[in-house]
Structure 1
């Protein structure tokens, strides 16, 4: 189902849509980039806040060392169960198939960008 609250988000901030059944194969790709999995829900106010803030400065979230995935957990509840979600948005960071951590809720642009930059530096991720 389409995102109606911030309908232009995925056109202006391209992310690959993924579903639970395809996630493991995607994460197993031989890729040295960090994968950020953005779990959100349609008509979720906190998700919309995150999307709107990301659209204010999309270049700050466009690292060459990062590949973005997204899933609407209302349409794919097995993904929510898999990650034990108690709220959205949730962002999971992976490197070479290993989960590095999660950012739950939207902390704001600066804390989010700083956390991802630290992971890029710590892992030696590259484009």
Structure 2
């Protein structure tokens, strides 16, 4: 088993991306913000984040946000690109430009509040 939450991506909609396609996906402009969730199989901290996200998905879904994800154990180029020292890590992008990084899982409310703040400043 790769995760203690095997049905996570069936229940919480995220688009899988690979390092070779990330720039094109981010540049397509289909969302005001892109949230990139970098995770790994057999990662207890990633599973904690996944469980918390499933417990309150309504708090973490915004109409103008697109969720992306990548298992960095299967795509080491993605981990290298962002200089990861631990997972889970979340990156926030607006129209292809990196706005921020959230390392580790801060909790559902703190994460939601941070994204709410970024969205409030993002152009429509």
Q: Same fold, TM exceeding 0.5?
A: yes
Deviations 1:38-62 (A, max 9, x none): 0000010000000000000111111
Instruction: Extract unaligned runs of 5+ from structure 2.
Output: none
Partner of 1:44: 43
Instruction: Extract unaligned runs of 5+ from structure 1.
Output: none
Note if 1:100 corresponds to 2:99: yes
For residue 95 of structure 1, report the CA deviation from its aligned partner. Answer: 0.2
d(CA) in 2 for partners of 1:69 and 1:86? 20
| More displaced 10-residue stretch of structure 1: 64-73 or 24-33 | 24-33
Partner of 1:121: 120
Partner of 1:62: 61
d(CA) in 2 for partners of 1:122 and 1:45? 33
Measured on the aligned residues, the alpha-carbon RMSD in Å equals 1.2
d(CA) in 2 for partners of 1:32 and 1:15? 13
Q: Is the 1:5–1:42 Cα contact (8 Å) retained in structure 2?
A: no
Q: Give the number of aligned pairs.
A: 124
For residue 98 of structure 1, report the CA deviation from its aligned partner. Answer: 0.4
Q: Is the 1:87–1:104 Cα contact (8 Å) retained in structure 2?
A: yes
Q: Is the 1:36–1:91 Cα contact (8 Å) retained in structure 2?
A: yes
Partner of 1:88: 87
TM-score, with normalisation over the residues of structure 2? 0.96
